[in-house]
Amino acid sequence: MHAAALHYFRVVARTGSVRKAGLELNVAASAVNRQIKKIEDELGLPVFERLQSGMRLTPAGEYLLRHVNATLHGYEKLRTDIDQLRQARTGHIGIAAVDSLLVDFLPRTIDRFRADFPAVNYSVDAVSPGDIPDLVASQKFDIGLTFVSPAWPKVRTVVEIPAPIGVIMRPDHPLASRPYIEFGATAPFPKLAQAGAIPIAADIDPDFWAFRSSFEAKLTSNSIQMLKMAVLADQGIAFFTRFGFLSDIEAGTLAWRPFASRGINRLKLGLIVPAITKPSASASRLTDFLARELQRIRTP
């Protein structure tokens, strides 16, 4: 049935009068009556009793009114969803993340997201893990990706996945044949280290902190890309989550193995957003997209 006919029907049902419905709709009463007749012809039953006091729904009319209300409510929801989708296609999204995610995971994820949302602009900053929750809580960034900590009162964790720190190395390295690697097993090999403070993993696993503090690195850099190229050149092994090296691990040009340490294997990566502020339509869409992508890569 045509939407106009259903709309006219609902107004007549509410006002109880073709004449009043016509006045409200700003159309002739005869036009309203034609639409009601059209509905009754299609259904094969009257939807109103014509009384001297006005129009009263028949049982068929009551069934139809429930259908019309549900249909128009669904249509309004559809329009709201489409409006939100239209708004999501533009805007600016700020992301603060641990720097390893800027090497591989985020560039590839944003590239897939922009296929459907080409007009969205982004700011993506590498930030120390402990600073990310405060930056998200203060709305300086829309989205944060960092190691999970229990003390985050002003942010909401959308999803979290296991993110143990392990050993990054060439696939032909002697340690690559092991399913797990003891800290002591790395002793004979040159080590590459990221400059700066030891991440939150130190709080989770004191043994990892002691190990990380015990050796002098052959090469130290604040650039994960630099350390990655050094590993590929067989200059040593490095210690990261696997998320900065997903493409190389998939291609077989690098290998990643977890440490044989229960503490470090409890480390998790969390996707966080402000706890109170409603996100923009584009940020909300990207948050959902990132959550799905994180779930997809949650197991090696």
For residue 78, pLDDT beyond 90: no
255 phi and psi, to 5 degrees? -125, 150
For residue 1, pLDDT beyond 50: no
Q: For tokens 């990643």, what's the residue?
A: 256
DSSP state of 170: -
Q: For tokens 């002591």, what's the residue?
A: 184
User: Could you tell me which residues are beta bridge partners of residue 97?
Assistant: 126, 145
Q: Mean pLDDT over residues 113-118, rounded?
A: 86
- Confidence band of 153 (pLDDT split at 50, 70, 90): confident
Q: Which has the closest alpha carbon to 55: 40, 70, 73?
A: 40
Residue 270 vs residue 200, higher pLDDT: 270
The per-residue pLDDT for range 230-242, each reduced to its tens digit, is 999 999 999 999 9
Q: What is the CATH number of domain 3-87?
A: 1.10.10.10
Number of DSSP helices (H) and strands (E) in the chain, helices first: 11, 12
| The pLDDT of residue 198 | 60
- 89-163+267-296: CATH architecture: 3-Layer(aba) Sandwich (3.40)
pTM value surpassing 0.75: no
Residue 212 vs residue 189, higher pLDDT: 189
The per-residue pLDDT for range 33-77, each reduced to its tens digit, is 999 999 999 889 999 999 888 899 999 989 898 888 887 777 777
Please report which residue ranges of 100-243 form alpha helices under DSSP H.
Answer: 105-113, 132-137, 201-204, 206-214, 224-232
For the chain, what are the domain ranges? Answer: 3-87, 89-163+267-296, 166-266
- 166-266: CATH architecture: 3-Layer(aba) Sandwich (3.40)
| The pLDDT of residue 230 | 96
| The pLDDT of residue 296 | 92
- Confidence band of 229 (pLDDT split at 50, 70, 90): very high
For residue 90, pLDDT beyond 90: no
Q: Is 192 helix (H, G, I), strand (E, B) or coil?
A: strand
- Confidence band of 247 (pLDDT split at 50, 70, 90): very high
Q: Is 155 helix (H, G, I), strand (E, B) or coil?
A: strand
The answer to whether 89-163+267-296 and 166-266 have equal CATH topology is yes
